[in-house]
Structure 1
Amino acid sequence: MNIVLAASEAFPFCKTGGLADVVGALCQQFSMRKGNKVLLFLPHYRNIVRVSSLKVVPGVYLIPIGDRIEQVSLSYINWGNVLVFFVGNRKYFDRPELYRTKMGEYPDNDERFILFSRAVLEGCKFIGFRPDIIHCHDWQTGLIPAYLKTVYKLDAFYTRTRSLYTIHNIAYQGHYSYSSFRKAGFHPVDYTPDKFEYYGGISFLKSGIVFADNVNTVSPNYAREVQTDPAMGFGLEGLLRYRSKNFCGIVNGIDTDVWDPELDPVLPIGYDVSEVVKGKLAAKLALQQQCKLPQEAEKPLIGIVSRLDYQKGLDVVVNLIERLKGRAQFVVLGMGDPMLEKAYQGLARNNPTSVSYNGRLDEDLAHRIYAGADIFLMPSRFEPCGLSQLISMQYGTLPVVSKVGGLVDTVKGYEPGKEDTATGFFINNFTENGIYATLEGALALYQHNRPVWTKLVRNAMRQDLSWDKSAQAYLDLYRKTLI
């Protein structure tokens, strides 16, 4: 198959969250299977990394934005068997951050991703690559399926091209005014509730759902939630029910070459399931030292690696840490809501022997937290799939998670008598007291029944959390889409 993936970020080139990890891993998975030619399109942001050998496609091509014309250039790199193309336009992509500054979203994000979406389609024509499938990710590429079914409907180059649209988080919808619809170049006849119209404006996410040949999200349970629960569907549950025959959930995996405790170069010693006790102790002591916490081998250490925002439930955790600070240590890595950043800064400042807050992007520290923590806390209000709980289990760190979304699909909750299968702990009641009660149970097991705790750790590490099965499920969905 000729496969094009279009996304606003992909690891290792540009990343703000799990979307990048998923897109990067899928590209590599697809390229390793015989018969596939894989191209990835990304915006050429200022801070693109690992592109020292970048090659330039000669010439430029033109993209209309409303009544203006923008020039676009293409450059590319060979990433294994994947060709990665970077869409260049300094006006829109030569900026300090991908989507926003501390003041908020870039006000022209609509134009930025209108340009990117059309640049992907024109870019394929520019280089002469005719895709069988274009796999689009999240709101930033939601207009690509719409363009294929409207503006490019009679374009012979795309006669056989089909689209798959993956929703990684339905809360982010790319909702803009009617003027953005006009800037995108769609015909007013298509501005109807069953197509583009959305509360008097346009939702890039809704457009992808309406026009894509198939739609999926990143776990089966989340696929059910967003169709049935208005709190999860964010206004699009009715549309998803309407498209239910062409909507499914495929759970994420993790790149087990990147996330491998046995070969991880940033850990003091590598470890597998047979050496997990020794390996995690070394990782814990090193993490405590790096974070300037007392090196206490027996003190439970709770790790958090997360974007700081409402979805992740970390506002509730602030008071919780105050209640537990004498009984456990906390290492937090993440940025986001300025008020939450200040709250965690205050916690660390006032409790230097029990709380370490690290407000930055730091891949190495993330690896060390996944390995060195005993418990990984993930109290999400909603979670499409989640990667952190998968990574923590890969490293033998037991997740404490909410009973939502993909967390239900990937974690097996501990109860007495389920020691042979359990890999973590479920928060049954999303309140401060509910999270506290689950953590109390996990801490009690850690402190008073270490043999059972170690059994759960080994259960977690023995799972197959790789992309193998899920990548094959995507390829099967591609073939179904092409029929």
Structure 2
Amino acid sequence: MGYAYVSLVVPRSLCIKFSSSYLLNPSVVDKRKRFRSTHYTHKHYYSYNFKIQQPLHASPVACAAAKILVNSDETHPSLEEGSEKLGIFSDSGFEDLVWPSPSDEIPFWKKDFPSWKMSLEVPVNVEMDSDVMHLIHVTAEMAPIAKVGGLGDVVTGLARACLARGHQVDIMLPFYECIQKELINELALITTYASYHDGNWVSTNAYRGVVSGIPVIFIEPSNHFFKGKYVYGGSYNELEAYLFFSRACLEWMQVTETQPDVIHVHEWQTSALPLLYWDMYHSLSLKKPRIVLTIHNMEHYGECNQEQLSKCGLNGSIYATVDKAIDDRTIGHNPERLSLLKGGIVYSNAVSTVSPTYLKETLCTGWLASTLIRNRDKFEAM
């Protein structure tokens, strides 16, 4: 199988996307050329050489480029000329993309959620698993209805992949006031119950709906949590809201006698759930589930003091130890501070991260590396 060398003019933001999704074995040329154009919001473009494995069926972009530039050393003096020859923006679907810019009047994280049409058909030739399980994802984000970053994409992708392999899958999500309800099918109230917060039992509604073919359970407390125009940045205390949500999900499972095989929590927002499960709900009623935590971004660690953790019904002081949830950065001068993400790592049955590369990075750098090394036997990559 041969190789073709192709020169492409691509936006800087797409360099990773091209190299990982469209082209094989990218090798950057020694000299980068930067171009400017008034036709696109994103101003900076690079000229790249790529080594493409043939046959060239991986991408319309790669195929179009190869037809023009195979065995050619030509580079393009301008973005307009390069994109016109290659058809990058006109033929590949990128012509509708608008790149975020610091000069945008509305920052990208405050704009309307992106939406897309997603096929609900199960992919063909998917191997079905013989050991079918019931999986519940507990998460702060889900694409496309409550998407801020990559977390929502990963959760939706994982859920659909497991459904395609024959598993029973649910997602539990806060019923944010800003959620695009028009994207939820078959939305209906299924349970009204009470969940604990700061000495009070808060009346809570649980709704069931279907989003992108995935069953979703929406948790809506009667207090001010999750109210506002955006997923994050509301007028409520986000840390306390997600502590409440973590317990409310377990409380719903107890009230409805739901016993999944796996509860899959994501990021710091739901990292208190493993603590609540093993130190409270496992002894009460939930005997079957095991807990998986996926770390998407190690930079967000869920800073929390003992008093705040106690508001969800746990005794925050018992977690202020090195082997549980104390924030390692503050040992000796701020023993009150805890890390929910560290506690989630310690208390989960399995811990995963989004790629083998990120797994290696988290084991070698960052203040949680020592915790991950101590728990290396249960730390894997997707």
Give the shorter-chain TM-score range: 0.5 to 0.7
Q: Deviations over 1:435-456 (max 9, x none)?
A: xxxxxxxxxxxxxxxxxxxxxx
What are the ranges of 5 or more consecutive residues in structure 1 without an aligned counterpart?
Answer: 251-483
Q: 2:250 aligns with which of 121, 130, 152?
A: 121
Any idea what SS the aligned residue of 2:201 has? strand
Q: Deviations over 1:152-205 (max 9, x none)?
A: 23123x212101000000101110222112112213334322113223222111
- Aligned in 2, Cα 1:190/1:173: closer, same or farther, shift over 3 Å? closer
Q: TM-score, normalised by structure 1?
A: 0.47
Aligned counterpart, 1:210: 346
Deviation at 1:51, TM superposition (A): 2.4
C-alpha separation in 2, matches of 1:100 and 1:195: 29
RMSD: 1.7
Deviation at 1:81, TM superposition (A): 5.3
C-alpha separation in 2, matches of 1:45 and 1:121: 19
Any idea what SS the aligned residue of 2:177 has? coil
Q: Deviations over 1:74-99 (max 9, x none)?
A: 01113465320100025101211111
Q: Deviations over 1:357-384 (max 9, x none)?
A: xxxxxxxxxxxxxxxxxxxxxxxxxxxx
Matched letter for residue 224 of structure 1 = K
- Aligned in 2, Cα 1:52/1:216: closer, same or farther, shift over 3 Å? closer
Any idea what SS the aligned residue of 1:154 has? helix
Aligned counterpart, 2:225: 92
Aligned counterpart, 1:192: 321
The answer to whether the 8 Å contact 1:5/1:134 transfers is yes
The answer to whether the 8 Å contact 1:240/1:247 transfers is yes
Runs of 4+ in structure 1 off by over 6 angstroms are none
Matched letter for residue 171 of structure 1 = E
Q: Does 1:155 align with 2:288?
A: no
The answer to whether the 8 Å contact 1:37/1:82 transfers is no
C-alpha separation in 2, matches of 1:53 and 1:132: 25
Q: 1:165 aligns with which of 293, 297, 308?
A: 293
Write out aligned runs for 1:23-102 (5 A): 23-34=155-166, 36-49=167-180, 50-51=183-184, 53-58=186-191, 60-79=192-211, 82-90=214-222, 91-100=224-233
Write out aligned runs for 1:177-326 (5 A): 177-187=305-315, 188-198=317-327, 199=330, 200-229=336-365, 233=366, 235-250=367-382
C-alpha separation in 2, matches of 1:12 and 1:96: 16
Q: Which has more helix, going by share of residues?
A: 1
C-alpha separation in 2, matches of 1:25 and 1:126: 29
Aligned counterpart, 1:292: none
Q: TM-score, normalised by structure 2?
A: 0.60
C-alpha separation in 2, matches of 1:73 and 1:114: 17
Write out aligned runs for 1:361-440 (5 A): none
The answer to whether the 8 Å contact 1:38/1:81 transfers is no
- What is the number of equivalent residue pairs in this alignment? 239
Deviation at 1:241, TM superposition (A): 0.7
Q: Does 1:135 align with 2:268?
A: no
Aligned counterpart, 2:31: none
Aligned counterpart, 2:80: none
C-alpha separation in 1, matches of 2:269 and 2:212: 26
Which fold has the larger relative contact order, with Cα–Cα distance below 8 Å and residues 6 or more apart in sequence? 1
- Aligned in 2, Cα 1:125/1:25: closer, same or farther, shift over 3 Å? same
C-alpha separation in 1, matches of 2:305 and 2:289: 29
